[in-house]
Structure 1
Amino acid sequence: MDEAEVRRRLLQLFKAKVCFRPRFGYWELRPTPAAAAGTPDLVHPSTTPLLDAALLLQDLHSRTEQAVLLHTYSPITGERLCIGAAGAHDVRLRRELASAPRAVDRLRRAPLDSDAPGLVMLAYLAGHDVPLREELRQIRSTQVALTKAPLPGWILVSVPVRRLPGAPAVPGAEPRVVAAVSILAPAHTHGDPLVAYGRLMNSAVQTAIGSSVVISQPRFAAAPAA
């Protein structure tokens, strides 16, 4: 086939989401759905994410074509814990994670001050009258954090989450930061990921929280005994 025909067919595969372009001139096949079942190793085994939160992660993954992670924190250990992931089945990401098992452990669980998801939560855990170091003050001001990821050659861009989508809200209580949504992207990402990803995630999080449905009553009443 000539070059024009090859390009036409590759674009068809790209539009059908069978393949993707990690960078100009390079094409990679997407994994089959069966491969996605083997991706929970980034998620801490002791947690179960809410459905609405999982839908938020999937939406962000489909809009950015990057892996999206959801972290919360343990007040007992002072660690951030990954409780959800979308897009972690990406071929290139899986290949690099396989060669860096320590990075998998650090993405799953790490001290709060290790990287962006922990820092963006840490910036809000202190009271508003508590002096913050400059890094945390800046994060609180912009509502977004960017650092290197535990995986070499990748970055984490994180925003705070004041209530997990689908979780019940306490009437009259001021919402506190309970989690962080992060995009895990190659370090050579085009443009300014701090601005582009930060705005997108903050907007998506607010929309998801505002539109999530909380079921406070049983759907079905028990049938009276005969």
Structure 2
Amino acid sequence: MSNTQPGEALRLAVIISSVREGRFGPVPGEWFAGEARQREDLVVDVIDLAEHDLPAALSNEPSPETAETLAAISPRLEQADAYVVVTPEYNHSFPASLKHLIDWHYTQWRAKPVGFVSYGGLAGGLRAVEQLRPIFAELHAVTVRDAVSFHSAWEQFGEDGRPKDEQGPANAAKVLLDQLAWWGTTLREGRAKNPYQA
């Protein structure tokens, strides 16, 4: 479990899940991380899966390469008090790279909140989000209700990497971050008083 002490700023891991060549994910991901960094109650860690190549096959004895990758990423997930997954929608679902990350970890997610920033075409990635909710529930995580969604995302951002409509996305980000802060604080205090048993 997280070793963050009650009263300290929450550790928020922002996970950029797409690893495709020419991907758009870092644009909304870095923008959202910037919004989160403006808050005094959060410490932000951006985890870009393009920098951590996890294979699909699970093993009790991972290869040396996989073990090295896990050593670089698992402690960061463990230390986090809350997560935001930045995901596109591929064929009505989410990227395989994200499923690999989820499946290689189990206890790290327990009794912690997960929020979503999605992007895509007309659906804005929301179908990917709806598929992720039951997966995180199986891992004993709590997904927050509201998400940030960018429909026709490539048209929504300027060359500076910021949304052309600043107010709408900023308001949505605030709602999501407020929910994560409440759940993150409440669940962290709960884990400290009574360690979660799954």
TM-score of the aligned structures, taking structure 2 as reference length: 0.30
Q: Which has the higher contact order (CA 8 A, sep 6+)?
A: 2
TM-score, normalised on structure 1?
0.28
- Higher Rg: 1
